[in-house]
Amino acid sequence: MRIVFLGTSAGRPTKTRNVTSVALLLGRHNRFWLFDAGEGTQHRLLASKLKLNKLERIFITHLHGDHLYGLPGLLTSRSYFEGAGPLRLFGPPGIREYIDCAFKTSEAHLDYELDIVEIEAGTIAEDEGHKVEALELEHRIRCFGYRVTERPVPGQLDLAALARLGVPSGPLFGKLKRGEDISMADGTAVRSAEVVGPPIPGRTVAILGDTTPCANAVMLGKDADVLVHEATFAAGMEEKALAYGHSTVRDAAGIAAEAGAKRLIVTHISSRFDDEAVARMIDEVKDVFPNIEAAEDFYETDVAKN
């Protein structure tokens, strides 16, 4: 899993930061998911290595413009990419009406299947590799955060034990790895549990929309390998942040600490702060959560395995 930040500004773009969008690469032939699509997101994609025909799912946190004004253009442009298959779009109630209105008035047509899912809290998507959960956050309008959990993978084969038992390498190794017990040619039974280590836990990434500090933010970030949290304002501006339904960098650090997250990356940073100010903001809250960093546009990072 790899995270790519395509837009990290709050409210409006700056010369160096576009409005919100985050891509999550899943390690399957450059396939990726997109979280929010502020205006200009497709331009950011063009400047990256990501291709729209590899985009499988889009998750919108809420219906404020800096999180979805880039969506109609991105969806339309995707039709021009060869091999663009079906796409699922998840978002709060109202996302379907927004897309339908944009396409109707512009007479846009897609050359692929678009499945729009208006979500409620809970598990919203599952496949063989991942589970996606959503919970409501506290913002000026209805807003969600997402938690992506990678499913566990089988443990490592104990090669020494296999050698002692005389199991020949080949298809039998694969069966044991998949959890199947086997019988060898001489009738000896070998149980998978005897030669395969415990399952390896999958990774967890939590990507939150705009929010003030709340219990659901902690739940989404619980023990996450990476928590992506907004930090619109600097520490000391908590009253202003609360009035606008946002968080300070100290709020984000507090949520990460309470959740037991392993790593915190803050984004959605007000245009009032330049790079030097952002660096100071981060240093000021390392006493709350040391493993914190601020994203910038085109910043990429791997989600480390446990």
Residues classed as catalytic = 66
Nearest CA among 214, 215, 251 for reference residue 230? 251
Strand order in the sheet with 2-7: 114-118, 87-91, 55-59, 32-35, 21-25, 2-7, 300-302
Cα-Cα end-to-end distance for the chain: 12
Tokens of 123: 């598990």
For the record, the structure tokens of 85 come out as 């298959």
64 is in an annotated binding site: yes
Q: Which two tokens stand for residue 77?
A: 């442009």
Binding residue per annotation — 246? no
Q: For helices 95-106 and 71-78, what crossing angle results, to 10°?
A: 60
Which residues face 183 on adjacent strands? 189
Give dist(CA 275, CA 7) in Å, integer: 15
Q: Is 130 annotated as a binding residue?
A: no
Which residue in 212, 207, 214, 209 sits closest to 264, CA to CA? 207
Q: Is 268 annotated as a binding residue?
A: yes
Antiparallel, parallel or unpaired: β 55-59 and 189-190: unpaired
Distance CA 27, CA 50 (A): 12
CA 21 to CA 64: how far, in whole Å?
13
Query: Was 62 annotated as part of a binding site?
Result: yes
Residue 121 structure tokens: 């809290």
Binding residues for Zn(2+): 62, 64, 66-67, 139, 210, 268
Binding residues: 62, 64, 66-67, 139, 210, 268
